[in-house]
Structure 1
Protein backbone atom coordinates (compact mmCIF):
# COMPACT_ATOMS: atom_id res chain seq x y z
CA UNK A 1 0.00 0.00 0.00
CA UNK A 2 1.41 3.35 -1.07
CA UNK A 3 0.49 6.65 0.57
CA UNK A 4 0.18 9.62 -1.76
CA UNK A 5 0.49 12.97 -0.01
CA UNK A 6 -0.83 16.03 -1.83
CA UNK A 7 -4.01 17.88 -2.58
CA UNK A 8 -6.02 18.24 -5.79
CA UNK A 9 -5.26 20.34 -8.87
CA UNK A 10 -1.48 20.13 -8.96
CA UNK A 11 1.33 17.75 -9.94
CA UNK A 12 0.01 15.18 -7.44
CA UNK A 13 -2.47 14.22 -10.18
CA UNK A 14 0.36 12.76 -12.29
CA UNK A 15 1.27 10.22 -9.64
CA UNK A 16 -2.36 9.49 -8.85
CA UNK A 17 -3.05 8.79 -12.51
CA UNK A 18 -0.06 6.48 -12.84
CA UNK A 19 -1.05 4.53 -9.74
CA UNK A 20 -4.44 4.00 -11.37
CA UNK A 21 -2.87 2.99 -14.69
CA UNK A 22 -0.70 0.43 -12.91
CA UNK A 23 -3.53 -0.82 -10.70
CA UNK A 24 -1.45 -0.33 -7.54
CA UNK A 25 -3.11 0.01 -4.11
CA UNK A 26 -2.80 3.41 -2.46
CA UNK A 27 -4.34 5.74 0.04
CA UNK A 28 -4.36 9.53 -0.08
CA UNK A 29 -3.50 12.17 2.47
CA UNK A 30 -4.66 15.67 1.63
CA UNK A 31 -2.00 18.34 2.16
CA UNK A 32 -1.05 21.77 0.89
CA UNK A 33 2.51 22.62 -0.10
CA UNK A 34 4.63 23.44 2.97
CA UNK A 35 2.14 21.89 5.40
CA UNK A 36 3.91 20.41 8.46
CA UNK A 37 3.17 16.92 7.15
CA UNK A 38 4.82 17.75 3.84
CA UNK A 39 7.76 19.54 5.46
CA UNK A 40 8.37 16.46 7.56
CA UNK A 41 8.71 14.31 4.45
CA UNK A 42 10.10 16.74 1.87
CA UNK A 43 12.89 19.26 2.60
CA UNK A 44 11.51 21.63 -0.06
CA UNK A 45 7.96 21.38 1.22
CA UNK A 46 6.67 20.47 -2.23
CA UNK A 47 3.98 18.02 -3.24
CA UNK A 48 3.50 15.28 -4.22
CA UNK A 49 5.21 12.94 -1.81
CA UNK A 50 4.84 9.18 -2.24
CA UNK A 51 5.50 7.09 0.84
CA UNK A 52 7.00 3.68 0.05
CA UNK A 53 7.79 1.49 3.06
CA UNK A 54 8.16 4.62 5.22
CA UNK A 55 10.57 6.11 2.66
CA UNK A 56 9.40 9.44 1.18
CA UNK A 57 9.86 9.90 -2.56
CA UNK A 58 9.66 13.46 -3.87
CA UNK A 59 9.37 15.21 -7.26
CA UNK A 60 6.59 13.98 -9.53
CA UNK A 61 8.90 13.05 -12.43
CA UNK A 62 11.21 11.09 -10.15
CA UNK A 63 8.22 9.29 -8.61
CA UNK A 64 6.79 8.37 -12.00
CA UNK A 65 10.17 7.08 -13.13
CA UNK A 66 10.55 4.96 -10.01
CA UNK A 67 7.06 3.50 -10.34
CA UNK A 68 7.78 2.60 -13.96
CA UNK A 69 11.17 1.06 -13.20
CA UNK A 70 10.01 -0.83 -10.12
CA UNK A 71 7.08 -2.42 -11.97
CA UNK A 72 8.72 -2.75 -15.40
CA UNK A 73 5.71 -1.09 -16.98
CA UNK A 74 5.09 2.14 -18.91
CA UNK A 75 8.78 2.48 -19.68
CA UNK A 76 11.54 1.24 -21.93
CA UNK A 77 14.21 -0.80 -20.08
CA UNK A 78 16.83 1.20 -18.23
CA UNK A 79 20.06 1.39 -20.21
CA UNK A 80 18.38 0.83 -23.58
CA UNK A 81 18.51 3.28 -26.47
CA UNK A 82 14.71 3.47 -26.33
CA UNK A 83 14.97 4.53 -22.69
CA UNK A 84 17.42 7.27 -23.60
CA UNK A 85 14.93 8.53 -26.19
CA UNK A 86 12.11 8.29 -23.66
CA UNK A 87 14.10 10.27 -21.08
CA UNK A 88 14.85 12.86 -23.76
CA UNK A 89 11.12 13.32 -24.32
CA UNK A 90 10.56 13.61 -20.58
CA UNK A 91 13.15 16.36 -20.29
CA UNK A 92 11.79 18.14 -23.35
CA UNK A 93 8.32 18.27 -21.81
CA UNK A 94 9.61 19.45 -18.45
CA UNK A 95 11.86 22.11 -19.98
CA UNK A 96 9.84 23.31 -22.96
CA UNK A 97 6.20 22.93 -21.88
CA UNK A 98 6.00 22.70 -18.10
CA UNK A 99 8.61 25.41 -17.75
CA UNK A 100 6.45 27.96 -19.56
CA UNK A 101 3.34 26.96 -17.61
CA UNK A 102 5.13 27.12 -14.27
CA UNK A 103 6.56 30.58 -14.91
CA UNK A 104 3.11 31.82 -15.95
CA UNK A 105 1.57 30.32 -12.82
CA UNK A 106 4.16 31.93 -10.57
CA UNK A 107 3.49 35.32 -12.14
CA UNK A 108 -0.26 34.82 -11.74
CA UNK A 109 -0.64 34.10 -8.02
CA UNK A 110 2.40 32.47 -6.41
CA UNK A 111 5.03 35.21 -6.34
CA UNK A 112 4.51 38.27 -4.11
CA UNK A 113 2.33 40.78 -5.91
CA UNK A 114 5.13 43.30 -6.30
CA UNK A 115 7.31 40.63 -7.96
CA UNK A 116 4.80 39.52 -10.58
CA UNK A 117 5.21 40.52 -14.22
CA UNK A 118 1.90 39.60 -15.90
CA UNK A 119 3.08 41.13 -19.18
CA UNK A 120 5.35 38.11 -19.67
CA UNK A 121 2.46 35.66 -20.06
CA UNK A 122 1.65 36.31 -23.75
CA UNK A 123 5.27 35.57 -24.64
CA UNK A 124 5.16 32.38 -22.58
CA UNK A 125 1.94 31.32 -24.31
CA UNK A 126 3.51 31.91 -27.73
CA UNK A 127 6.58 29.88 -26.81
CA UNK A 128 4.42 27.10 -25.35
CA UNK A 129 2.43 26.79 -28.59
CA UNK A 130 5.62 26.73 -30.67
CA UNK A 131 7.14 24.06 -28.44
CA UNK A 132 3.96 21.99 -28.73
CA UNK A 133 4.44 21.87 -32.49
CA UNK A 134 8.01 20.67 -32.08
CA UNK A 135 6.97 17.94 -29.66
CA UNK A 136 4.07 16.80 -31.86
CA UNK A 137 6.52 16.24 -34.70
CA UNK A 138 8.26 13.59 -32.55
CA UNK A 139 5.17 11.49 -31.91
CA UNK A 140 5.61 7.94 -33.22
CA UNK A 141 2.02 6.66 -32.94
CA UNK A 142 -0.95 6.99 -30.63
CA UNK A 143 1.57 7.73 -27.87
CA UNK A 144 4.86 9.59 -27.85
CA UNK A 145 6.95 6.42 -28.04
CA UNK A 146 4.63 4.51 -30.36
CA UNK A 147 1.86 2.09 -29.41
CA UNK A 148 2.59 1.94 -25.67
CA UNK A 149 1.93 4.60 -23.05
CA UNK A 150 5.06 5.67 -21.17
CA UNK A 151 6.02 8.18 -18.48
CA UNK A 152 6.32 11.20 -20.80
CA UNK A 153 2.72 10.66 -21.93
CA UNK A 154 1.49 11.30 -18.40
CA UNK A 155 3.54 14.48 -18.26
CA UNK A 156 2.40 15.73 -21.64
CA UNK A 157 -1.28 15.09 -20.98
CA UNK A 158 -1.03 16.82 -17.62
CA UNK A 159 0.63 19.83 -19.24
CA UNK A 160 -2.10 20.00 -21.88
CA UNK A 161 -4.69 20.12 -19.09
CA UNK A 162 -2.63 22.73 -17.26
CA UNK A 163 -2.58 24.81 -20.43
CA UNK A 164 -6.39 25.06 -20.31
CA UNK A 165 -6.24 26.44 -16.75
CA UNK A 166 -3.48 28.86 -17.78
CA UNK A 167 -5.48 29.94 -20.87
CA UNK A 168 -2.65 28.86 -23.16
CA UNK A 169 -3.85 27.78 -26.58
CA UNK A 170 -2.84 24.42 -28.02
CA UNK A 171 -3.42 25.03 -31.75
CA UNK A 172 -1.73 21.80 -32.83
CA UNK A 173 -4.53 19.48 -33.96
CA UNK A 174 -2.52 16.31 -33.39
CA UNK A 175 -2.00 17.25 -29.74
CA UNK A 176 -5.65 18.21 -29.35
CA UNK A 177 -6.68 14.73 -30.50
CA UNK A 178 -3.99 13.17 -28.33
CA UNK A 179 -5.24 15.02 -25.26
CA UNK A 180 -8.78 13.85 -25.89
CA UNK A 181 -7.61 10.23 -26.17
CA UNK A 182 -5.69 10.46 -22.93
CA UNK A 183 -8.64 11.96 -21.05
CA UNK A 184 -10.88 9.14 -22.26
CA UNK A 185 -8.81 6.48 -20.48
CA UNK A 186 -10.51 4.66 -17.61
CA UNK A 187 -7.55 5.22 -15.28
CA UNK A 188 -7.64 8.95 -16.02
CA UNK A 189 -11.33 9.09 -15.18
CA UNK A 190 -10.77 7.24 -11.91
CA UNK A 191 -8.03 9.70 -11.01
CA UNK A 192 -10.33 12.63 -11.75
CA UNK A 193 -13.03 11.06 -9.56
CA UNK A 194 -10.49 10.74 -6.73
CA UNK A 195 -9.55 14.40 -7.12
CA UNK A 196 -13.19 15.47 -6.92
CA UNK A 197 -13.77 13.31 -3.84
CA UNK A 198 -10.72 14.77 -2.10
CA UNK A 199 -11.72 18.33 -2.99
CA UNK A 200 -15.26 17.78 -1.69
CA UNK A 201 -13.89 16.38 1.56
CA UNK A 202 -11.57 19.37 1.93
CA UNK A 203 -14.39 21.85 1.33
CA UNK A 204 -16.64 20.05 3.80
CA UNK A 205 -13.89 20.10 6.43
CA UNK A 206 -13.18 23.81 5.89
CA UNK A 207 -16.86 24.74 6.16
CA UNK A 208 -17.49 22.66 9.30
Structure 2
Protein backbone atom coordinates (compact mmCIF):
# COMPACT_ATOMS: atom_id res chain seq x y z
CA UNK A 1 0.00 0.00 0.00
CA UNK A 2 1.27 3.52 -0.76
CA UNK A 3 2.29 5.53 2.29
CA UNK A 4 0.84 8.65 0.65
CA UNK A 5 -2.90 9.35 0.78
CA UNK A 6 -4.68 12.31 -0.80
CA UNK A 7 -8.01 13.37 0.67
CA UNK A 8 -9.65 15.47 -1.99
CA UNK A 9 -12.64 16.42 -4.07
CA UNK A 10 -12.07 16.82 -7.83
CA UNK A 11 -13.95 20.14 -7.81
CA UNK A 12 -11.76 21.68 -5.13
CA UNK A 13 -8.26 22.99 -4.47
CA UNK A 14 -7.41 19.33 -4.16
CA UNK A 15 -6.62 19.49 -7.86
CA UNK A 16 -3.48 21.42 -6.94
CA UNK A 17 -2.34 18.73 -4.50
CA UNK A 18 -3.00 15.98 -7.07
CA UNK A 19 -0.96 17.86 -9.65
CA UNK A 20 1.90 18.12 -7.16
CA UNK A 21 1.68 14.41 -6.39
CA UNK A 22 1.79 13.62 -10.10
CA UNK A 23 4.89 15.81 -10.44
CA UNK A 24 6.52 13.98 -7.53
CA UNK A 25 5.87 10.67 -9.25
CA UNK A 26 5.32 8.56 -6.13
CA UNK A 27 2.39 6.13 -5.76
CA UNK A 28 -0.49 7.48 -3.71
CA UNK A 29 -3.98 6.54 -2.67
CA UNK A 30 -6.99 8.81 -3.20
CA UNK A 31 -9.91 9.24 -0.81
CA UNK A 32 -12.78 11.29 -2.26
CA UNK A 33 -14.44 13.57 0.29
CA UNK A 34 -17.89 14.92 -0.49
CA UNK A 35 -18.53 18.56 0.36
CA UNK A 36 -20.07 18.81 3.81
CA UNK A 37 -18.73 15.42 4.91
CA UNK A 38 -17.66 16.04 8.50
CA UNK A 39 -15.94 12.66 8.88
CA UNK A 40 -12.75 14.18 7.49
CA UNK A 41 -12.41 16.05 10.79
CA UNK A 42 -10.67 12.93 12.03
CA UNK A 43 -7.86 13.74 9.60
CA UNK A 44 -8.18 17.54 9.32
CA UNK A 45 -10.04 19.40 12.12
CA UNK A 46 -10.92 22.12 9.60
CA UNK A 47 -12.89 19.53 7.59
CA UNK A 48 -11.19 20.83 4.46
CA UNK A 49 -9.54 19.28 1.43
CA UNK A 50 -6.94 18.78 0.26
CA UNK A 51 -5.24 16.92 3.06
CA UNK A 52 -2.26 14.67 2.49
CA UNK A 53 -1.19 11.93 4.87
CA UNK A 54 2.38 10.69 4.47
CA UNK A 55 3.06 7.83 6.82
CA UNK A 56 2.30 9.27 10.26
CA UNK A 57 2.44 12.89 9.06
CA UNK A 58 -0.59 14.95 8.10
CA UNK A 59 -0.18 18.01 5.89
CA UNK A 60 -2.92 20.53 5.15
CA UNK A 61 -3.01 23.83 3.19
CA UNK A 62 -2.10 23.69 -0.50
CA UNK A 63 1.11 25.71 -0.32
CA UNK A 64 2.33 23.65 2.63
CA UNK A 65 1.49 20.41 0.79
CA UNK A 66 3.47 21.58 -2.25
CA UNK A 67 6.47 22.66 -0.17
CA UNK A 68 6.39 19.49 1.93
CA UNK A 69 6.23 17.12 -1.03
CA UNK A 70 9.05 18.96 -2.80
CA UNK A 71 11.24 18.45 0.28
CA UNK A 72 10.08 14.91 1.04
CA UNK A 73 10.91 13.73 -2.48
CA UNK A 74 13.95 15.77 -3.57
CA UNK A 75 14.67 13.51 -6.55
CA UNK A 76 11.73 15.19 -8.34
CA UNK A 77 13.70 18.46 -8.37
CA UNK A 78 10.72 20.61 -7.41
CA UNK A 79 12.53 22.88 -4.95
CA UNK A 80 15.67 24.99 -5.34
CA UNK A 81 18.72 24.39 -3.18
CA UNK A 82 18.09 25.41 0.43
CA UNK A 83 20.39 28.43 0.13
CA UNK A 84 18.57 29.68 -2.98
CA UNK A 85 14.96 29.75 -1.90
CA UNK A 86 14.17 33.46 -1.49
CA UNK A 87 12.03 33.73 -4.64
CA UNK A 88 10.65 30.24 -4.10
CA UNK A 89 9.24 31.04 -0.67
CA UNK A 90 8.21 34.53 -1.72
CA UNK A 91 5.95 33.44 -4.54
CA UNK A 92 4.61 30.31 -2.85
CA UNK A 93 3.36 32.33 0.08
CA UNK A 94 2.39 35.40 -1.92
CA UNK A 95 -0.07 33.16 -3.76
CA UNK A 96 -1.19 31.47 -0.54
CA UNK A 97 -1.69 34.77 1.29
CA UNK A 98 -2.32 38.01 -0.65
CA UNK A 99 -3.52 36.36 -3.86
CA UNK A 100 -5.95 34.01 -2.12
CA UNK A 101 -7.26 36.78 0.14
CA UNK A 102 -7.59 39.37 -2.62
CA UNK A 103 -9.46 37.07 -5.00
CA UNK A 104 -11.79 35.79 -2.31
CA UNK A 105 -12.58 39.26 -0.97
CA UNK A 106 -13.18 40.60 -4.46
CA UNK A 107 -15.46 37.69 -5.33
CA UNK A 108 -17.48 38.30 -2.16
CA UNK A 109 -17.87 41.94 -3.08
CA UNK A 110 -15.71 43.39 -0.30
CA UNK A 111 -13.24 46.10 -1.26
CA UNK A 112 -11.18 47.57 1.57
CA UNK A 113 -11.18 51.33 1.85
CA UNK A 114 -7.94 53.28 1.51
CA UNK A 115 -7.67 53.30 5.31
CA UNK A 116 -8.38 49.55 5.57
CA UNK A 117 -5.77 48.62 2.96
CA UNK A 118 -3.03 49.09 5.51
CA UNK A 119 -4.71 46.54 7.80
CA UNK A 120 -5.18 43.72 5.30
CA UNK A 121 -2.31 41.62 4.05
CA UNK A 122 -3.19 42.00 0.39
CA UNK A 123 -3.62 45.77 0.38
CA UNK A 124 -5.88 45.93 -2.66
CA UNK A 125 -7.03 43.62 -5.42
CA UNK A 126 -5.49 45.77 -8.15
CA UNK A 127 -2.11 45.88 -6.44
CA UNK A 128 -2.07 42.11 -6.05
CA UNK A 129 -2.99 41.55 -9.71
CA UNK A 130 -0.33 43.99 -10.91
CA UNK A 131 2.32 42.38 -8.69
CA UNK A 132 1.38 38.93 -9.94
CA UNK A 133 1.62 40.13 -13.52
CA UNK A 134 5.10 41.55 -12.91
CA UNK A 135 6.18 38.20 -11.46
CA UNK A 136 5.27 36.13 -14.53
CA UNK A 137 5.90 38.66 -17.29
CA UNK A 138 8.93 38.33 -19.55
CA UNK A 139 10.13 35.04 -18.08
CA UNK A 140 10.95 33.65 -21.50
CA UNK A 141 12.01 30.04 -21.00
CA UNK A 142 12.66 30.67 -17.30
CA UNK A 143 10.53 30.18 -14.23
CA UNK A 144 9.75 32.14 -11.10
CA UNK A 145 12.86 30.92 -9.29
CA UNK A 146 15.26 30.60 -12.22
CA UNK A 147 15.76 28.08 -14.99
CA UNK A 148 13.93 25.17 -13.36
CA UNK A 149 10.22 24.56 -12.77
CA UNK A 150 9.45 24.29 -9.06
CA UNK A 151 6.51 23.89 -6.71
CA UNK A 152 6.21 27.69 -6.68
CA UNK A 153 5.49 27.71 -10.42
CA UNK A 154 2.95 24.94 -9.93
CA UNK A 155 1.13 26.76 -7.14
CA UNK A 156 1.14 30.18 -8.79
CA UNK A 157 0.21 28.60 -12.11
CA UNK A 158 -2.73 26.79 -10.53
CA UNK A 159 -4.06 30.05 -9.12
CA UNK A 160 -3.68 31.75 -12.48
CA UNK A 161 -5.34 28.88 -14.33
CA UNK A 162 -8.26 28.79 -11.91
CA UNK A 163 -8.59 32.58 -11.68
CA UNK A 164 -8.52 33.30 -15.41
CA UNK A 165 -10.79 30.33 -16.07
CA UNK A 166 -13.47 31.40 -13.60
CA UNK A 167 -13.15 35.15 -14.04
CA UNK A 168 -11.63 36.06 -10.69
CA UNK A 169 -8.48 37.22 -12.49
CA UNK A 170 -8.28 39.19 -15.73
CA UNK A 171 -6.98 37.36 -18.80
CA UNK A 172 -3.84 39.43 -19.16
CA UNK A 173 -1.39 38.15 -21.81
CA UNK A 174 1.32 37.40 -19.23
CA UNK A 175 -1.12 35.33 -17.19
CA UNK A 176 -2.38 33.35 -20.15
CA UNK A 177 1.14 32.63 -21.41
CA UNK A 178 2.17 31.29 -18.00
CA UNK A 179 -1.00 29.19 -17.71
CA UNK A 180 -0.36 27.66 -21.12
CA UNK A 181 3.19 26.73 -20.12
CA UNK A 182 2.36 25.11 -16.79
CA UNK A 183 -0.73 23.31 -18.08
CA UNK A 184 1.35 21.75 -20.86
CA UNK A 185 3.38 19.77 -18.33
CA UNK A 186 2.68 16.01 -18.52
CA UNK A 187 1.94 15.82 -14.78
CA UNK A 188 -0.56 18.68 -15.06
CA UNK A 189 -2.34 16.87 -17.87
CA UNK A 190 -2.41 13.57 -16.00
CA UNK A 191 -3.79 15.21 -12.87
CA UNK A 192 -6.49 17.05 -14.82
CA UNK A 193 -7.53 13.88 -16.64
CA UNK A 194 -7.87 11.98 -13.35
CA UNK A 195 -9.95 14.67 -11.68
CA UNK A 196 -12.08 15.36 -14.76
CA UNK A 197 -12.86 11.65 -15.00
CA UNK A 198 -13.86 11.63 -11.31
CA UNK A 199 -16.17 14.61 -11.88
CA UNK A 200 -17.84 12.83 -14.81
CA UNK A 201 -18.27 9.71 -12.67
CA UNK A 202 -19.80 11.73 -9.84
CA UNK A 203 -22.25 13.36 -12.24
CA UNK A 204 -23.31 10.00 -13.63
CA UNK A 205 -23.97 8.76 -10.12
CA UNK A 206 -25.90 11.85 -9.05
TM-score of Structure 1 vs Structure 2, range by shorter chain: 0.7 to 0.9
1:30 aligned residue: 32
User: Alignment partner of 1:50: what SS?
Assistant: strand
Q: State how many pairs are aligned.
A: 191
Q: Does 1:76 align with 2:80?
A: yes
What is the CA-CA distance between 1:22 and the residue it aligns to? Answer: 1.7
How do 1:50-89 residues align onto structure 2 when only pairs under 5 Å count? 50-72=52-74, 73-78=77-82, 80=83, 82-89=84-91
User: Alignment partner of 1:29: what SS?
Assistant: strand
User: Alignment partner of 1:169: what SS?
Assistant: coil
Q: Pick closer, same or farther for the CA change 1:119–1:51 going to 2, 3 Å.
A: closer
1:165 aligned residue: 166
What is the CA-CA distance between 1:136 and the residue it aligns to? Answer: 2.7
Structure 1 segments unaligned to the other structure (5+ residues): 108-117
Deviations 1:26-59 (A, max 9, x none): 1211113552332110111111011212432211
1:3 aligned residue: 5
Greater mean deviation of Cα atoms: 16-25 or 93-102: 93-102
Deviations 1:132-187 (A, max 9, x none): 2232359585211122111111111111122121342032x333212111111111
Distance 1:95 1:68 in 2: 20
What is the CA-CA distance between 1:19 and the residue it aligns to? Answer: 1.1
CA RMSD of aligned residues (A): 2.5
Greater mean deviation of Cα atoms: 1-10 or 188-197: 1-10
TM-score with structure 1 length normalisation?
A: 0.80
1:44 aligned residue: 46
Structure 2 segments unaligned to the other structure (5+ residues): 113-122
How do 1:56-205 residues align onto structure 2 when only pairs under 5 Å count? 56-72=58-74, 73-78=77-82, 80=83, 82-105=84-107, 107=108, 118=109, 120=111, 126-136=126-136, 139=139, 141-163=141-163, 164-171=165-172, 173-205=173-205
Distance 2:130 2:100 in 1: 13
User: Alignment partner of 1:57: what SS?
Assistant: strand
What is the CA-CA distance between 1:68 and the residue it aligns to? Answer: 0.5
Question: Which protein has the bigger helix share?
Answer: 1
User: Alignment partner of 2:78: what SS?
Assistant: coil
- Contact kept in structure 2, 1:11 and 1:48, CA below 8 Å: yes
Distance 1:185 1:156 in 2: 14
Deviations 1:42-81 (A, max 9, x none): 1111110112124322111111111111111200233x1x
